[in-house]
Structure 1
């Protein structure tokens, strides 16, 4: 391998170690040494790729978001292909199927690997201004994906954009509660029985469909 190849390999090893440790132990409980030990690298190589732990958390978060987004877009594309749609706004009759499949892909991408959900929904929150900006940017990118699927090549209205941001916020909060309910529920009536993944999928699907009918 070239020196550049080795640098990429070490960076990937650190991201994998960060996902495992941040996603199971929590960001505040993980030191650079623990990350390096799991990655099989010295701390010198950590600082070759990242200036600090927060930067690694940002890279892990971005990887998780990209993975979830890819799953969502792939599911949406499969619906479009099956329906023979190549562009433009989505026919209203296709919205329930598209919403069910796309949201299901996104939610199950996280539930199949709860480390991703913990990093995306809990560990990245409030760490530092740079990560808050990264997180809020990702929320707006999810909203742009939603509104883009709904209106096609048309320019969305401010009302439609705000509605899309609100939908992302609702889904995010339910997934935060799902994560919390699995580890430390805040009360006896808000445990895993309430925040079941399939129940969340059903509720947000209904919310997205109703918003489309009303707003788009």
Structure 2
């Protein structure tokens, strides 16, 4: 391999190792030495790829978010064109995709917070991306309550985030169907039943 290919290979092995180790035993319990041993590279090589554990966490987190956004957008595009169908498809896909792999759920909703303020901007960027999906979906609704759309979307994202943290930490964990049902219910109540009617049973 060329030098660039070797660097890319080491970087990918570190991301793969970190995806598992940052999820369990967790970010703070995972040393650079353990990451390097799992990835089968030297400690010196680590710093050729990443400047710190936080930098590596950012790479892992960004990949999780990118994959989730791709999956959610695809689900919305495939859904029937009504607002309710598209939002239900997007929320359902988000919850199910994130919980398909507990490592993804832990990295995105638990360990990234434990990594500290250095990743605050990454989390804010992610919240902005998902908020924009909701805002774009509901921007054509007729005027509803005198509340700012952006704040309502942020509130919905926050609620779903807390539901997923509950899924990660609770024993036993609630089913993903219950998480989706709760999230959809919150969405419909947030934007008003007169705007987003409940489906008939």
Cα gap change, 1:36 to 1:158, in 2 (>3 Å)? farther
Report the alpha carbon displacement of residue 57 of structure 1 after superposing the two structures with TM: 0.9
User: Which residue is 1:22 aligned to?
Assistant: 22
Of 167-176 and 118-127, the range deviating more from structure 2: 118-127
- Aligned residue runs from structure 1 range 38-187, under 5 A: 38-79=38-79, 83=81, 94-151=82-139, 159-182=148-171
8 Å Cα contact 1:99-1:209 kept in structure 2: no
Q: Is the 8 Å Cα contact of residues 21 and 27 (structure 1) preserved in structure 2?
A: yes
- 1:65–1:138 contact (8 Å) kept in structure 2: yes
- What is the CA deviation profile of residues 71-128 of structure 1, one whole-angstrom value per residue up to 9, with x for unaligned ones? 101101112xx54xxxxxxxxxx12221222112111111110101001111111433
Q: Mark the runs of 5 or more structure 2 residues left unpaired by the alignment.
A: 141-145, 197-201
Quote the RMSD (CA, aligned, Å).
2.0
* Structure 2 Cα separation of the partners of residues 24 and 148 of structure 1: 36
- The CA distance in 2 between the partners of 1:58 and 1:49, in whole Å, is 13
Q: Does residue 196 in structure 1 map to residue 184 in structure 2? A: no
TM-score (norm 1): 0.81
How far is 1:158 from its partner?
7.1
Deviation at 1:17, TM superposition (A): 0.5
Question: Which position in structure 2 is the counterpart of 1:212?
Answer: 191
Cα distance in 2 for partners of 1:77, 1:181 equals 33
Gaps of 5+ in 1: 84-93, 183-190
- Deviation for aligned residue 1:176: 0.6
Is 1:12 the counterpart of 2:1 in the alignment? Answer: no
**1:207 and 1:95 mapped to 2: Cα distance?**
15
Q: TM-score w.r.t. structure 2 length?
A: 0.86
